[in-house]
A and B are shown apart, each in its own frame.
Chain A
Amino acid sequence: MSRLFPHPILSALLVVTWLLLVNDFRWGSLVFGMILGLVIPLFIKPYWPYRSTLKSLPKYASYMLLVFWDIIVANIQVARIVLFKPNSQLKPAWIVIPLDIRTPEAITVLAGTITLTPGTVSCDLSECGHALLVHCLHAPDPAAVVADIKTRYESRLKEIFA
């Protein structure tokens, strides 16, 4: 089974995405979606050799809701900074986040989350993959930002990805 489906979650996601693209349920589209879900992961397998495991799907769903909420808050915060803060009062800063998570999938999700949420953009990873470079739009207290990201997102991701 695992030779045929190297990434079962990706396969399921591809079928759902294809059905959404067609926007109208037909059995033919379902079959074609399943063919895509079978073939694409097989092509990707050489570049993604290890199977990623999600430990808990409900926890991942609640993480997504948290991120959606934070994206809305992030937009309002950034809009306020852009509109009302003069450039001279702006304190942009580089911060370094030492990572406790080790799987590439978890690090990717964390980096994406950081880019989408309040005033931070993830920019680079250390060569060994153990630290993340993040740019803050306005960070009077960089240490607080690091602590916030670690407790709010990283600890949750640690429970989600095995």
Chain B
Amino acid sequence: MDLFFEILVSALLVIGGFFGLVGSYGLVKLPDPMTRLHGPTKSATLGVGGVLLASMIYFAWFGAAPSLHELLITLFILLTAPVTGLMIAKANIHLQWTRDELPPTGTGTNWATLSDRPSLMDDGADLRLVDEGD
């Protein structure tokens, strides 16, 4: 049984390492900042996920007690990856894209990042989000 878990843990580590590597390679290989964003936001999640799963199985079988910290790390990564992706995308839109280059919203308003009036979200956020533009 030990052998089976050793193989499982090793396989997960190799898979995790592979996807981490591909994610970093994508960062170098892809042509422009927007496409480069796709490497780290995805391949990195599975890369880290594989390593964490391996760690969980290792400590549950070989260690003293099962550890649940890995679940928490997975949760935090899944929560933060989209937010960082969004922040980088917004910064890139500010730096390199104009209103004419982006497709129109189709709702009669601008994209929030390139807007020149104060945010609708600053006061009474939810209700106005629901009402305006309907």
Q: Which residues of A contact B (CB under 8 A)?
A: 17, 20-21, 23, 49-50, 71-72, 74-75, 78-79, 82-83, 87, 90, 92, 94-96, 98, 102-104, 111-112, 115-116, 119, 121-131, 133, 135, 137
Contacts and interface: CB of A to CB of B under 8 A. Distances in A.
B129 A129 contact: yes
B105 A131 contact: yes
A78 B26 contact: yes
A75 B89 contact: no
A72 B50 CA distance: 10
Interface residues of B, number: 59
Contacts of A111: 82, 86
B61 to A, nearest CB: 17
A103 B125 CA distance: 10
Which 9 residue pairs spanning A and B have beta carbons closest together?
A128-B133, A75-B46, A115-B82, A123-B89, A126-B105, A82-B26, A127-B109, A112-B82, A129-B129
Contact of B112 (A20, A74, A75, A126): A126
A124 B93 contact: yes
A116 B85 CA distance: 10
A79 B120 contact: no
Contact of B90 (A74, A90, A124): A124
A52 B35 CA distance: 34
B107 to A, nearest CB: 4
Contact of A133 (B25, B38, B69, B103): B103
A127 B120 contact: yes
Nearest to A98: B106
B35 A90 contact: yes
A125 B75 CA distance: 24
Contact of A137 (B35, B69, B120): B35
